[in-house]
């Protein structure tokens, strides 16, 4: 008898960490639902994956998740697909899509890109897929980073409108990932949901070379050479998806729980949660 495979959604799945995670998930017989920005990237990624795992179940949805309309559209496409393919159950959501920007840029809603994509996109997608996740007692993973440390939320200027700093905006967005994971555990642990932040370490991906200027490009091109292959952090994602009893820790690096910033606390988490609900015009069931 064939074992029913479990579905996992991976955003930012066409390259870097997301792509490696997809590979590993397919290898372990998960049904993979990838999300990427453009149709071309998604098709190319799908072809590469199918070539390696011809038996694998892999489907892609595309959309520029920096804009909220696009996130809602992609989410509803995924829900349709889950209904047809997986009994409306989602085993894991991996909120991995992220960007770096050299300059202050805004989404269609006028929200700063790194905040909008690295945090708000995951905030909406999680909300839209939560019923499916609850049914499967699923897991929610975030690609956070050690750069969330040594950073405080800039509550008075969340979108860096007083003067943009690419690195600080990135650090804050990764702190947001930790705070959101914290909130999800607080709210839905008793429903069987477990949320984690993953520190992938320094990874050799092209994140700093996409839509950035000369300086950020140059700095990242040098820095990424010291990074590990994205296959390394992918193992941590797989472990968190497969481990029988979900661990109680919040933050993982190289398969092990790691220390996170003291800024990741209930006060900050609640505050960010309320602001995010307001900015996305959605309300999580309490």
Q: What single string gives the DSSP state of each residue in 49-97?
A: HHHH-TT--EEEEE--TTSHHHHHHHHHHHHHHHHHHSTT--SEEEE--
Which residue of 31, 46, 101, 139 would you call a contact of another protein, by CB under 8 A? 101
Closest separation between CB of residue 215 and another protein, Å? 5
Which residue of 1, 84, 281, 286 would you call a contact of another protein, by CB under 8 A? 281
In angstroms, rounded to a whole number, what is the distance separating the alpha carbons of residues 74 and 239? 27
Which CA distances in Å does 281 have to 106, 118, 215, 276? 18, 18, 36, 8
Count of residues of this chain found to bind another protein when the rule CB under 8 A is applied:
29
Residue 12, sorted as left (phi over 0), alpha (psi -120 to 50) or beta, turns out to be left
C-alpha 106 chain-centroid distance: 19
Pick 105 or 258: Cβ nearer another protein: 105
Q: Which window, 45-53, 103-111, 174-182, 241-249, contacts another protein (CB under 8 A)?
A: 103-111
**Token pair in block for residue 1:** 């008898």
| 212 near another protein, rule: CB under 8 A | yes
Which CA distances in Å does 193 have to 132, 138, 257? 11, 5, 18
In angstroms, the first-to-last Cα distance of the chain is: 40
Q: Which window, 23-31, 73-81, 176-184, 206-214, contacts another protein (CB under 8 A)?
A: 206-214
Which residue of 53, 72, 81, 164 would you call a contact of another protein, by CB under 8 A? 164
Measured N-to-C along each axis, helices 16-27 and 231-242 cross at an angle, to the nearest 10 degrees, of: 50
Which residue of 106, 204, 242, 263 would you call a contact of another protein, by CB under 8 A? 106
Which residue of 87, 213, 247, 257 would you call a contact of another protein, by CB under 8 A? 213
Closest separation between CB of residue 118 and another protein, Å? 17
| 41 near another protein, rule: CB under 8 A | no
In angstroms, rounded to a whole number, what is the distance separating the alpha carbons of residues 215 and 210? 12
Which residue of 43, 44, 88, 102 would you call a contact of another protein, by CB under 8 A? 102
| 110 near another protein, rule: CB under 8 A | yes
| 67 near another protein, rule: CB under 8 A | yes
Site string for another protein, 141-160 (x = CB under 8 A): -------------------x
Pick 49 or 71: Cβ nearer another protein: 71
In angstroms, rounded to a whole number, what is the distance separating the alpha carbons of residues 237 and 198? 8
| 127 near another protein, rule: CB under 8 A | no
In angstroms, rounded to a whole number, what is the distance separating the alpha carbons of residues 138 and 242? 11
Specify which residues 36 forms β-bridges with: 62
Pick 218 or 255: Cβ nearer another protein: 218
Instruction: Point out which residues bind another protein (CB under 8 A).
Output: 67-69, 101-111, 160-164, 211-215, 217, 278-281
């Amino acid at each position: 008898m064939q074992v029913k495979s479990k579905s996992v959604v991976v955003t930012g799945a066409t390259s870097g960490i997301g792509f490696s995670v997809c590979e590993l998930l397919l290898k372990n017989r998960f049904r993979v639902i990838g999300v990427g920005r453009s149709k071309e990237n998604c098709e190319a990624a799908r072809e590469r994956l199918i070539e390696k795992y011809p038996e694998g179940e892999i489907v892609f949805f595309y959309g520029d998740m920096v804009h909220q309309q696009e996130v809602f559209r992609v989410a509803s496409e995924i829900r349709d697909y889950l209904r047809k393919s997986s009994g409306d159950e989602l085993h894991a959501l991996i909120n991995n899509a992220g960007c770096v920007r050299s300059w202050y840029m805004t989404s269609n809603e006028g929200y700063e890109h790194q905040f909008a994509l690295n945090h708000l996109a995951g905030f909406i997608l999680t909300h839209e897929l939560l019923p499916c996740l609850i049914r499967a007692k699923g897991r929610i993973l975030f690609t956070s980073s050690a750069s969330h440390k040594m950073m405080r939320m800039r509550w008075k200027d969340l979108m860096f409108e007083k003067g943009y700093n690419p690195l600080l905006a990135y650090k804050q967005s990764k702190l947001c990932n930790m705070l959101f994971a914290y909130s999800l555990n607080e709210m839905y642990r008793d429903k069987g949901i477990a949320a984690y932040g993953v520190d992938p370490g320094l990874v050799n991906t092209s994140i700093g070379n996409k839509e950035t200027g000369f300086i950020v490009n140059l700095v990242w091109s040098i820095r990424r050479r010291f990074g590990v292959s994205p296959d390394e952090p992918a193992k941590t994602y797989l472990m968190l998806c497969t481990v029988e009893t979900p661990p109680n820790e919040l933050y993982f690096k190289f398969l092990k729980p790691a220390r996170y910033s003291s800024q990741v606390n209930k006060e900050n988490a609640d505050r960010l949660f309320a602001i995010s609900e307001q900015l996305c015009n959605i309300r999580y069931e309490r």
